[in-house]
Chains A and B, each alone.
Chain A
């Protein structure tokens, strides 16, 4: 049976950015249905659907909503996490640029369900186009009565604001985001208390990823059972966007049922670039462990299967690497990213990410020593699990997999006093590299 796209139906249809155009394509049916239900029923339906957070951690969305105190006296908030900053991740951008009304609809339903009267969309500062489109869509939604006083005549009122970040990855961490939203330096808070009890401005707050919220209208409209029928099992349900980059013919964001085998993803984007050999892939963004390609060709791309394989689905940013890729160089680049983005407040992350970058760069440049692999591994142990927020763990992910899976490449660097792989090729400048291909939006349907 062909898979019918859910989240990316309107990609390439600018008309659907307006409420009217979106409605014509069947939009806002979910909200209409939700407003006829009791808020608790909406929460129940989302719980039943098994929808798990699409931002990276995979926490059940309905359960998160359920943590919001019902009898809270005072404001509650929804903060939509649109600070999509992890290298290789660009799925939320697609949703905001092409399906802004779907996101607004999801936000409204969530706010109705948890009793929030204000919603902030915290968007990555670099997403200027997406922000402009969202602003426009929000204005239109106000005009159409989807936002503001008495949403669709229901008596439920909601205000929605875009909040533009200033380019820090750490503001994608939910409490770092709240600090930044409150106008403070973006650095994560000590937890507990969790945002569900003490969140934005000290009030109970739901924080959901863009894609998570985009799923919500469809769950309410078509029911949890329909949603659960998509995917691999009870714990991995619904449609999923995969942001595929690297050595493939047509990189881009592709929608599949969650849990589709990696081989299907690869075929869907035209296979390996110039027919090269698959060496490895990162299944879930910069913080996921690198998986050797051939052994994991048929790995179902869902939360549990990838976790079992020793990595994680994360944000489902799939980075594909061919046989010319130097793992030390790749991981050194990722380590540089995490060092650059560490907020600096906690010791293991601040010092550990810095040291890892220095060490990996040294190895890549041919000044490695025999004991460096075990030193790297030991630094990973001291960072992992000991940092204040998850960024420390994230930084460790790729480094650990390098030491565990590709220690041979470290040894080769040390032995040969330099990098045995071809030098870095500059892509994207019209020389025929993968970045020159047309930005593939939603891929072929499969499934």
Chain B
């Protein structure tokens, strides 16, 4: 029986293993140490690693993330937790300007191996300020990398790669996925002795032949549910491709699935304007136009700030039913 653990625990294992592997790795964030993490991702790590490696920060995202960028230029490997990725906006100059461009503006004389991680999702009735999904905003900036795992396996393998990466990686999780349990082999079960997943590799999460549902983050989970419905109720075999990494982007995997199914929908919890779906559908149009039997569709959050009202917020985000309905329109 393969081992199953939660997405939260998978992240924690990844962090713990990297703390053990490299003494230059340390964690800073609000409530990450003595409080054990606002969402308990870092639970137990302070107790195990102590004050030097796991540090509670004051509520100063620009200050401590900027500090981490400076420290990373000097050879340390900070892992910064944002309690919500929405708080990136108060650190925007540091995250957008300094992290992305110091290497470039120095002509390659330094690099910024920082990880900024935290949940970037809506759907938890916390209103617009705490429900941002800024993967498109940060992926727009050359020099940055954006990763968004949807299950426990990917969460563990990708956080380890992110920490080892020599460029800034913004690692976007989801509070709604933290409790999801999935297969994550223990290191003893692995030939390589550990789970490391390269950044920039998409993964087919379900094989299919009739339509490609391409997604990232929480939307990939919704897409899998939609694929079940399409199969059960309509006999349509949908393929689900989880990008896992937004930038770098696995465009080969995208074109491969489109050439296989000839139909595609991009699903994301992001806003639609200049979203990941806009980028991906444009690339499909340019690179696989002749393989398409239908227009590429995009499903995103309803285009308004995240609404608080719980039943309406459910409707604002992509649902499996909506994906089924749109899929049927082109199948």
Question: Are both chains from one complex?
Answer: no
A residues contacting B by CB (< 8 A) are none
